Amino acid sequence: MSQQHQPELLSGGAMLIRALRDEGVEFVYGYPGGAVLHIYDALFQQTEVKHVLVRHEQAATHMADAYARASGKAGVVLVTSGPGATNAVTGIATAYMDSIPMVVICGQVMSHLIGDDAFQETDMLGISRPIVKHNMSVRNPADIPALVKKAFYIAQSGRPGPVVLDIPKDMTMPNQKFPYEYPKDIKLRSYNPNAKGHPGQIKKALQTLLAAKKPVLYAGGGVILGQASAELTELAQRLNLPVTNTLMGLGAYPATDPQFIGMLGMHGTYEANQVMHNADVIFAVGARFDDRVTNATKKFCPNATIIHIDIDPASISKTIMAHVPIVGLVKPVLQEMLHQLEKHGNTLDQAALGQWWQQIGQWREVHGGRFEHRTDLLKPQAVIEAVWRHTKGDAYVTSDVGQHQMFAAQYYKFDKPNRWINSGGLGTMGFGLPAAMGVKLHYPEAEVVCVTGEGSIQMNIQELSTCKQYGLGVKIINLNNGYLGMVKQWQDMNYDSRYSSSYMDSLPDFVKLAEAYGHVGIRVTSPEELEPALEKAFALKDKLVFLDIHVDPKEHVYPMQVPGGAMNDMFLSKTERT
Amino acid sequence: MRHIIAVLLENESGALARVVGLFAQRGYNIDSLTVAATEDPTMSRLTLVTRGDDQVIEQITKQLHKLIEVVKLVDLSESAHIERELMMVKVKASGDQREEVKRCADIFRGQIIDVSPTTYTIQVVGTSDKLEAFIEAMCNTQILEVVRTGVSGISRGEKALSL
């Protein structure tokens, strides 16, 4: 054997970093500690994989997660054992609930200490098991390249999800070296994730869809994860189908297109929920009939035949029985459908479809996303609309969780996929700022806006320091109403306005706080201040601007489904109910 | 309905915990569970007895399948199969009782596998129903200890759960 074919000898720590490089990883988000010191030393000795030092491990996971949501590639987190790992748990669960590819590398105590309650020991494999797609531990340093490959393969294929790799400290010893070779391919006998969809089922689905008189296309996050927006849009436009997106699916179909009927579900539009309830065929694509969509499952869409495409068979007929199930990746299935349509040139019954659109037009008139416009009081909806205008509808928008999240989902019209970045499944407050940072780091030229509230932002406010260190010029839209708005809304509606712990006393001066971290803070307390403030904020290209916007504390999010009702049982305002 | 699900899974540490954890997380029942390596030492076979309506059983099999280490699985109850369970029962047996216990064990084709001056330990093999019937039949005897392996199952005929 010639000398140049000899693989290079590397330590476990160096192999890990080299494997990340060979996987194409540019950034790792993390926080050092005892169990990962060898790994951090290996990071220090190279320049290709860059490390981003956060201020709390939860933020590292959200940064990685948001990078994945924006780019489609797995984000990478590096944390130490014990508290480092447990601090990452919320972020791992967030990614798991929304099927986000992520690889989390956790340090662990030395192998011989495992089980001894050693310093900073915690059973991270046990803790993370219910919230990961898979987790693995390194038993032999020589296995590290193969395990890294396996971790990325599992995280990014099929229904994506987070993978935890637990690495005991003695697996990364600098003085123990092993031949390094990064595997090109991987095949697991127990895991075969890429299904194209059964041709017979695809045919049956098309027949069912073409026979519909009142069809609706209900598209979820799977379309975005499966990078199938173009196919979805083409199919919808070809057949002139009304399209509704889930919270996770916003941007999968362009929101400013006339065929878009808005988000559906708990805070969906009146027309989207009516269309679903009255449809005869529901074509569900990469959506999972979440309880925040269906309302009471027993009353769900009584007349609908349901076609359901999903890569995860367990998502099909889990809560709502699918009549025509298709297990497969959304993209090739939609491509096959388009191919069939092309070949046969089919259309739906145009007269019936025309009537259906007429009906939809009437439903659009009923609520139409209206809200009260005031000159003395800033409405949160108006703020989002203004942000949409100022960013020409083309920003990456991250959000936290609560009323502001719903207002952003309702009033920012997303025309592109991967632009709306929020914690839909887990509903993690504290997600927004680190998520915005993760996006901004990778897309420094893009406008990145974090829509948040004074409750959520304080859950990871320490990251303003990370923003300073890495020069992350995100724009923070803090819809400050002095209350935990969504909690308050429920207390208004169900608890006779007894505001049990939903009022936030002693809020910091956010403007001064932003300045203390070296950023720009602007306070907006009246409608006339909004436009100039936004203008100034977006003109400061490279600066982080914290806009503390005082909005109407009494505002509620509407429409809102009536709990326990059908999809179309809704409150339309404080006084109107369907 | 009672279902017997046979699972082939990678013989790796943590794989069993994943299966058991899944049942706990999603609120599924486990009546019994047995697991051991197969003729291929890299693979374990697990037999799990659970209960639920069709929709629950469908979710259970789908969720099990999603686990990365699960190679293959089959719901044995869907077709002809054989199930067996082994039980050892230690009973008080002195004086007249000794003959009575032995007779009963014989009827169930049980074997007395350990004897002391005051006790018998009987081994019974069969379906779970048969084992329960044996315990019932011993109701006049003082049972000191019962230990059961849980159900193992296999398909009848040429059908086989293998790679």
pTM of the predicted model as reported, rounded to 2 decimal places: 0.95
Q: How confident is the model at residue B163 (pLDDT cuts 50, 70, 90)?
A: confident
Average pLDDT over residues B77-94: 96
B22, B68, B69: which to substitute to probe chain A, counting the most A Cβ within 10 Å? Answer: B68
Inform me whether the pLDDT recorded for A4 exceeds 70: no
Kindly report the average pLDDT of chain A as a whole number: 96
Structure token digits, residue B12: 């790796």
Residue-by-residue DSSP string for A271-324: HHHHHHHH-SEEEEES----HHHHSSGGGS-TT-EEEEEES-GGGTTSSS--SE
Inform me whether the pLDDT recorded for B58 exceeds 50: yes
Average pLDDT over residues A77-102: 98
- Partner B contacted by A146 (CB < 8 A): no
Residues of chain A found within 8 Å of residue B10, distances taken between Cβ atoms: 190
Reduce the DSSP state of residue A438 to 3 states and report it: helix
Residues of chain A found within 8 Å of residue B9, distances taken between Cβ atoms: 190
Reduce the DSSP state of residue B35 to 3 states and report it: strand
The dihedral formed by the CA atoms of B86, B89, B95 and B97, expressed in degrees to the nearest 10 = -70
Q: In this structure, are strands B43-51 and B2-10 parallel, antiparallel, or unpaired?
A: antiparallel
Backbone torsions φ then ψ of A477, nearest 5 degrees:
-105, 95
User: Closest Cα to residue B6, out of B159, B154, B158, B156?
Assistant: B154
Average pLDDT over residues B35-64: 96
Instruction: Say how far apart CA A28 and CA A40 lie, in whole Å.
Output: 11
Contact B62 A190 (CB under 8 A): no
pLDDT digits (tens, 9 = 90+) for B111-141: 999 999 999 999 999 999 999 999 999 988 9
- Closest to A125 (Cβ–Cβ): which among B14, B66, B71? B14
Instruction: Say how far apart CA B32 and CA A442 lie, in whole Å.
Output: 50
- Partner B contacted by A317 (CB < 8 A): yes
CB burial readout A103-137, b (16+ within 10 A) else e: bbbbbbbbeeebeeebebbbebbebbbebbbbbbb
Inform me whether the pLDDT recorded for A2 exceeds 60: no
Kindly report the average pLDDT of chain B as a whole number: 95
Q: Give Cα separations from A401 to A220, A321, A450 (angstroms).
A: 19, 30, 11
Instruction: Say how far apart CA A103 and CA A110 lie, in whole Å.
Output: 21
pLDDT digits (tens, 9 = 90+) for A513-571: 999 999 999 999 999 999 999 999 999 999 999 999 999 999 999 999 999 999 999 99
Contact A190 B21 (CB under 8 A): no
Average pLDDT over residues A151-176: 97
Contact A190 B71 (CB under 8 A): yes
Amino acid code (one letter) for A82: G
Amino acid code (one letter) for A530: L
- Closest to B66 (Cβ–Cβ): which among A130, A188, A314? A314
Q: How confident is the model at residue A504 (pLDDT cuts 50, 70, 90)?
A: confident
State the complex-level ipTM.
0.92
Inform me whether the pLDDT recorded for A1 exceeds 50: no
Residues forming beta bridges with residue B4, ordered by sequence position: B49
Contact A154 B68 (CB under 8 A): yes
- Give the per-residue pLDDT at A3: 56
pLDDT digits (tens, 9 = 90+) for A140-160: 999 999 999 999 999 999 999
Residue B91 CB partners (closer than 8 Å, separation 6+): B101, B119, B120, B121, B122, B138, B141, B142, B143, B144
User: Closest Cα to residue A35, out of A1, A84, A102?
Assistant: A84
Contact A190 B14 (CB under 8 A): no
Average pLDDT over residues A337-362: 94
Amino acid code (one letter) for B83: E
